[in-house]
Structure 1
């Protein structure tokens, strides 16, 4: 499967600690911590499946674990996607831009995710 090209430019993210105080900053810290914790758990699950393969464990057991990993990745993706969508809409409202202008970009991203 061909690898997607990655870009080196960095965009602001709702997962970053953008400011130092207030309820929004606390929300960002909690969200970032939640996403990182989930990703670390997924990383451990992947290592566990690799070990299962090395040990020639039952294919059905491996498939069950792979399904759990896929579901966990999907949940993390949904969290990040929701964060991005909320941030884009908030920025549009704050800048008094029509949210409908951002809709095609959000729908395209949603299609990539699903």
Structure 2
């Protein structure tokens, strides 16, 4: 899924402003992930076979990665570009730290 440049804008207060469409998309994904986590808790309470639980955990991790990718793309297309244009080149170091965290 590709994000339009106008979907996220960061101000000098370092606050994101997601479009209503993007915010709805992110919240829908996060609600689904929240439900999946509750489902895994239930599986553990019911002593579900470990491989089945691990499969669900893998799906949750993939869904979280997708949310992270959407946020990162929006951040790079707007916040990072905006700060570079304003001469705040330290945003590159900040971005590299964030990418390293996401790649763990």
Higher strand share: 2
> Is the CA contact 1:42–1:73 (under 8 Å) kept in the aligned structure 2?
yes
Tell whether 2:50 aligns with 1:59. Answer: yes
Match of 1:13 among 5, 13, 16: 16
Matched positions, count:
91
Match of 1:44 among 6, 10, 35: 35
Unaligned runs of 5+ in 1: 1-9, 16-27
TM-score (norm 1): 0.70
RMSD over aligned CA atoms reads 2.0
Return the index of the structure with the highest Cα Rg.
1
Unaligned runs of 5+ in 2: 1-12
Between the aligned partners of 2:81 and 2:14, the Cα distance in structure 1 is 16
Between the aligned partners of 1:41 and 1:113, the Cα distance in structure 2 is 20
Q: SS at the partner of 1:14?
A: strand
